[in-house]
Amino acid sequence: MKIRVLGAYGAEGLAQRPSAFLVNDTILIDGGTVGGALASSEQIVIEHALISHSHLDHIAGLAFLTETLALCEAPKPLTISSLEPVVKALRTAVFNDTLWPDFSLLPTPRNPIVKYRTLLEETESPVGDLWVTPVAVNHTVPCSGFVVHDETSGIVYSGDTGPTDALWKAAGRLKTLRAVILECAFPNRMQPLAEVAKHMTPNLIRRELDKLPGDVPVLIYHVKPQFHDEIGEELGEIAGHRISFLEQDRSYAF
Ligand SMILES: [Zn+2]
Ligand SMILES: [Zn+2]
């Protein structure tokens, strides 16, 4: 499984793009940025988007991608897959003809550029050449992490979450787990805000590590750009080489 990091951050900064990951060239996991990291020729081969939740730092690039797809010479539909409340939020709050066009009806209702697919919680479904299990996590809006695998390897993606148990239990059942991609938004001094906004800090991650399977590598994404260095120092104090930042623009093979 190949994962290209299109955006590694929990917001936007100079050359720091919001969260988005491209798996095997055709499947997005979140879409905070797409066109900021991919040429048009790379965007138009994307077939699926797994969306953790409806916050802008996970879908802003998805909106622009739908327009790019709609305007390309031979448009192919993009299937957006998520839990039911997330699909509902995307339909009613984003692709609603007010914030952005309803591409589930365009260019024609019979052949739309966006198709929605509702995934069942904690149920494995095929998405492209992957198997995907969404697991609800602990955020301010409905949000899921994803357990993702192919024939040979798998990863767990946390989505946005504060401390959680269900995702780590699901991770423990995946025998081919190669990495955990885990969010961290704020430094330790901002834990009160992290608890309200339901995000991780390095201290909260320290407690989560005990729930994670074995010594699987933990790759951190979603730091708020202005706290990158501070969070890096705090993470360095807790877990040695097991934990590291996921690097934007790098491709990982699992
Ligand atoms: Zn976020
Ligand atoms: Zn969020």
Cβ pair 246, 10 in contact under 8 A: no
Residue 238, pLDDT > 90, answer no
Ligand 2 centre and the CA of 106: distance in Å? 28
- 134: which residues sit within 8 A by CB, 6+ positions away? 50, 82, 83, 119, 120, 121, 122, 123, 144, 145, 146
- Whole-model pTM over 0.95: yes
Please give the pLDDT value at position 153.
97
Domain total in the chain:
1
State percent of the chain over pLDDT 90.
95
Taking residues 148-176, what's their average pLDDT? 97
Q: What is the pLDDT of residues 3-50, one digit of tens each?
A: 999 999 999 999 999 999 999 999 999 999 999 999 999 999 999 999
Strands 125-127 and 130-136: antiparallel
Ligand 1 centre and the CA of 65: distance in Å? 18
Q: What is the pLDDT of residues 105-135, one digit of tens each?
A: 999 999 999 999 999 999 999 999 999 999 9
Nearest-5° Cα angle at 143, 110 to 236: 130
Return the number of other C-beta atoms located less than 10 Å from residue 176's C-beta. 13
Q: How confident is the model at residue 213 (pLDDT cuts 50, 70, 90)?
A: confident
The residues facing 210 across adjacent strands are none
CATH classification at residue 208: 3.60.15.10
Taking residues 174-193, what's their average pLDDT? 97
Ligand 2 centre and the CA of 198: distance in Å? 8
Taking residues 56-66, what's their average pLDDT? 98
Separation between Cα atoms, residue 60 and residue 30, nearest integer Å: 10
Ligand 1 centre and the CA of 222: distance in Å? 6
Cβ pair 157, 202 in contact under 8 A: no
Please give the pLDDT value at position 240.
64
Separation between Cα atoms, residue 103 and residue 31, nearest integer Å: 16
Counting ligands in written order, the one closest to the CA of 198 is 2
Mean of pLDDT over the chain: 96
Structural domain that includes position 185: 2-253
Counting ligands in written order, the one closest to the CA of 57 is 1
Ligand 2 (ion): which residues have CB within 5 A? 55, 160
Query: What's at 62, amino acid-wise?
Result: L
Strands 218-221 and 243-245: parallel
For every residue of 24-92, DSSP letters joined together read: TTTEEEEES-STTTS-HHHHTT--EEE-S---HHHHHHHHHHHHHHHHSSS---EEEEE-HHHHHHIII
Q: How confident is the model at residue 215 (pLDDT cuts 50, 70, 90)?
A: confident
Q: How confident is the model at residue 101 (pLDDT cuts 50, 70, 90)?
A: very high
Length of the chain: 254
